[in-house]
Amino acid sequence: MKFSSKLIESTNIEISNCTTIHELEKIRIKYLGKKGYITLEMKKLSVLKHQEKKEIACYLNHIKNHIQNILNIRKKKIYQDLLNVSVNKQKIDVTLLGRKILNGNLHPITMTIHFLKNFFFKLGLEFVSGPEIEDAYHNFDALNIDENHPSRSMHDTFWFDKSRLLRTQTSSMQVRIMKKKKLPIRCIVAGKVYRNDYDSTHTPMFHQMEGLIIDRNINLIQLKWIIQSLLREFFNNSVEIRFRNSYFPFTVPSMEVDIRSIQGEWLEVLGCGMVHPKVFKNLNINHLEYLGCAFGIGIERMAMLKYGISDIRSFFENDIRFLEQFK
């Protein structure tokens, strides 16, 4: 074999003409593969004389290293070209206006519940939750609601059978709390309740928050202070409040609390009172030693008054235009 630069020149041209990695691999196999040019020439060295073998081996190694180097250089160039093409396709013009990101927001019912929870947490009340499917004992019997009370009728209550129903009030949790927790008790309950009613101010499913405080020195004045403080903080001291004597089977004395709406009408937002001695008796609590107050807040009513919403059904229609107002 004669020393010549023609082989180097030809490989340089072949490699420089390659535009893909696949083409480069074909050149590598052609010269450096197991059956490639360099390998076959190396096998011929065994029949040559020592001095000639030494010279040709040196030449072949030089060619082999040269081809490997220019293959690597060309491979990097091809990869860089591919990267540049990709970057140019995906590049961002930072001078363009940004795209508006539409963030979600809490539902006004959720915001109202969060506010009420935070208010009562500051007073030391614990949050508990309970079942929405109740039995007649917890929903009615233990709360001193007799069998002939109109709230037990099919027109007002969703019954599954003679003893199971969708709870009509979170007051049913008063019974479960008094059975489970040790005295004194300071708890709130928030959740869904169900009644068979549907118009602009009532829906079959709505939300209530129940509060229960039992201790040795609880009185009606403390209860009224709690309610007034809550409503003034919720409405930023811009609300007119009134307490009315009322009747609830599970509290005595009982009161309903109204707020004057924007239209000047009084709208009931909650009921409250001192826990009835018969309720304590049903749960083996000494009513001569312990007193308790309870309140039930209509979440939707509170939100309607705060945000000026006239139809309670708007909360449940999933109209984005309505929900976007509360961001």
Q: What is the CATH number of the domain that holds 154?
A: 3.30.930.10
Residue 246 inside a domain? The answer is yes
Q: Across 21-35, 98-112, 252-266, 292-306, which has the greatest mean pLDDT? A: 292-306
pLDDT at 133: 94
The values of phi and psi at residue 159, to 5°, are: -95, 140
Confidence of residue 27 (pLDDT cuts 50, 70, 90): confident
Residue 1 inside a domain? The answer is no
- The mean pLDDT of 57-73, rounded to a whole number, is 85
65 and 160 belong to one structural domain: no
Per-chain mean pLDDT for the chain: 86
190 and 279 belong to one structural domain: yes
Q: Which residue(s) pair with 190 in the sheet?
A: 209
pLDDT at 283 over 70: yes
- The mean pLDDT of 195-212, rounded to a whole number, is 84
Residue 99 inside a domain? The answer is no
CA distances from 62 to 27, 88, 142, 253 (A): 17, 39, 100, 107
Q: How many domains does the chain have?
A: 2
- The mean pLDDT of 29-40, rounded to a whole number, is 82
Residue 154 · residue 196 · CB < 8 Å: yes
pLDDT at 291 over 50: yes
41 and 133 belong to one structural domain: no
Domain end point (choices 32, 61, 90): 90
Confidence of residue 2 (pLDDT cuts 50, 70, 90): very low
pLDDT at 3 over 70: no
126 and 86 belong to one structural domain: no
- The mean pLDDT of 304-319, rounded to a whole number, is 86
Query: Rounded distance, CA 168 to CA 171, Å?
Result: 8
- The mean pLDDT of 252-272, rounded to a whole number, is 87
69 and 116 belong to one structural domain: no
Q: For 169-180, write each residue's pLDDT tens digit.
A: 898 898 899 988
pTM metric for this prediction:
0.65
163 and 234 belong to one structural domain: yes
287 and 148 belong to one structural domain: yes
As a whole-number percent, the residues of the chain with pLDDT over 90 amount to 33
Residue 291 · residue 219 · CB < 8 Å: yes
125 and 68 belong to one structural domain: no
pLDDT at 1: 44
CA proximity to 274, closest of 326, 226, 207, 204: 226
CA distances from 204 to 198, 201, 268, 316 (A): 6, 11, 18, 11
117 and 237 belong to one structural domain: yes
Q: For 86-126, write each residue's pLDDT tens digit.
A: 888 877 777 877 777 777 788 999 999 999 999 999 999 99
DSSP 8-state code for residue 33: S
Residue 68 inside a domain? The answer is yes
As a whole-number percent, the residues of the chain with pLDDT over 70 amount to 98
Residue 178 inside a domain? The answer is yes
Q: Across 31-35, 107-111, 146-150, 201-205, which has the greatest mean pLDDT? A: 107-111
pLDDT at 267 over 90: no
Residue 161 inside a domain? The answer is yes
Residue 79 inside a domain? The answer is yes
Residue 19 inside a domain? The answer is yes
- Domain span at residue 155 reads 108-326
Domain end point (choices 55, 90, 125): 90
81 and 201 belong to one structural domain: no
pLDDT at 200: 65
Residues 6+ apart with CB under 8 A from 29: 36
If one compares 63 and 272, the residue with the highest pLDDT of the two is 272
57 and 182 belong to one structural domain: no
212 and 288 belong to one structural domain: yes
Domain end point (choices 32, 60, 90): 90
pLDDT at 259: 86
**Residue that is written with structure tokens 């004057």 in the block:** 260
